[in-house]
Every structure is written in C-alpha cells, then in structure tokens.
Amino acid sequence: MKKIIVLSFISIFLIQCSTVPITGRKRLNMVSDSQVLPASFAQYEGFLKENKLSKDVSKSTQIKRVGKRISEAVDKFMRVNGMQAEANSYKWEFNLVEDKTVNAWCLPGGKVVFYTGIMPICANEDGVAAVMGHEVAHAFAKHGQERMSTGQLQQIGGVAVALGTRNSENAALWNTAYGIGSQVGVMLPFSRTHETEADKLGLVFMLMAGYNGNEAAEVWVRMSQRAGKKSPPEFMSTHPSNETRIQTLRSYLPEARQLASKYNVSAKK
C-alpha cells in the first residue's frame, strides 16, 4: 500500500511538473488557466465593487503608469520566448484602493491592486516599480495555480496517510501529525520559495522596464523600519524575513541586470 502511495505521488509530480521561465525552478501545476482565470477576473471585479478606489489622481496614475511599463516588458518577454498563448491570456489591470493596510497583490491573469497604505513604503516611482514587479511576478510564475495544486496534493497526502494506518485512532494521530508537518515543513517553506522567486523575477522585470533596481532592497529596508520587531520567526512565516529579502535582492542585482540585458530591454544601473 505504501509503495503504491509513493508511486502515485511521484507520477502526479512528473506528469504535472513544468518549469518557471527565467529562474528554471520546477513547479507543480495541476490547475489549468481555464479553470482559474474566469474566477480570478470575477473575484477582482467583485473586489473593486466592494472597495473604494483612491481619489488621489497622481498616485492612481502612477500605479497605472508603472503597471503598464512592467506588464509591457513581461508581455514582450513572453512573446519573444514562444509564450504567445500565455501572453494573450493576461488581462492586465492596475488600481489603487483606499485602505491603510500595507499591502499589494496580483491575481492570476494580471489583476493588480495596491493599497494606499503601501505607498509611503514605496516612497517613489522606483519603489512602486519594485513592488509592482514582485506582484506581477507572482502571476507570471503562476504561483496562485501552484499553491492550489499543492493544496490538492496535500489533501491527497492526508487521505493517503490515513489509508496507510490500521485503525481509526492511529489514523487520527497520523492525520494530526501530517497536518502539522505538511504546514510547517512543506506549505510554509513553499510560500517562502514563491516570495523569494517573486523578489528575483520582480527585480528583473523592473530593470527590463527601465527602473532603478537598487530601490528594490530599499523598499524592504523601509518595510523593516516600519515593522520593527513585530515579525514572527522566519521558519513560522509564509514570507522570508525583511533582512533576508534585503540581502537576497542586493546580492541578486548584478545577475538581474545581466538577465535584463540578455532579454534586450533597457536596464538602469
């Protein structure tokens, strides 16, 4: 039974595995765009109806301008690298919502929201580009679809572990252990993998769009100064620590510049 379970997991992974462009990371994707994008677009439309768009014309225009430049760079990359179908599937949209929360996000298919609360952390247009590049990278790398796929596999694994036990008491015990182990050992680190990948891809994208890549790390310097010591231990967080992100972005900047140059798009120094 255990051997069959293991082989089933391996088969699912091999069949549904693909590669993230640029980083080359292998990803699991059991969910198609046709399943995800209609719901994503509907969710975005519903969110905008229920939330107030910012009346700050200058900042709203800035969000749309930066989003347009970065999405055009990403679109160009996809089209010159044989990803025309994927490029056509994105319906890019960029909005600034009146909310003090320090946050921004991008749904699958290119629907982006910035909250007004993150604008002081961005501080300038290059800072906006750093955050924008990061959020667009989540959609580009299909992190949403991958998280859904991993969740499905986690559920399958929970069932498989239960089936491998001999009685209901042991099954409950193993399910409890699996839930803890999968969350801390798999799901949380996997989310950190997504965040680090989005940081790196976002840095490449903002450089491709002609923005100053030095500002990517500075956004997290400002975020760290704002957060103080409130962050949870990194191993219990879905995100890398601010210090880790700052170090990663600074050390990756030379390679990101080379990649931006390789893709024949202007990159500032």
Domain count for the chain: 1
**59, 179 in Cβ contact below 8 A?**
no
Within a domain: 12 = no
Tens-digit pLDDT string for the chain (269 aa): 444 444 444 444 444 678 999 999 998 877 788 888 999 999 999 999 999 999 999 999 999 999 999 999 999 999 999 999 999 999 999 999 999 999 999 999 999 999 999 999 999 999 999 999 999 999 999 988 888 766 655 554 443 333 344 444 444 433 433 343 444 444 455 588 999 999 999 999 999 999 999 999 999 999 999 877 566 555 446 678 889 999 999 999 999 999 999 886 444 44
Q: How far apart are CA 69 and CA 18, in angstroms?
A: 27
Q: 3-state SS of 7-62?
A: HHHHHHHHHCEEECCCCCCEEECCCCHHHHHHHHHHHHHHHHHHCCECCCHHHHHH
Task: Check residue 237 and give its pLDDT.
Answer: 62
First to last CA, the chain: 57
Within a domain: 13 = no
Within a domain: 149 = yes
Within a domain: 204 = yes
Has this prediction a pTM greater than 0.85? Answer: no
Domain residues for the domain of 208 are 31-262
Within a domain: 8 = no
Task: Check residue 192 and give its pLDDT.
Answer: 87
Please list the active-site residues: 135
For residue 222, the tally of other CB atoms under 10 A from its CB is: 15
For residue 65, the tally of other CB atoms under 10 A from its CB is: 14
Within a domain: 161 = yes
Task: Check residue 159 and give its pLDDT.
Answer: 39
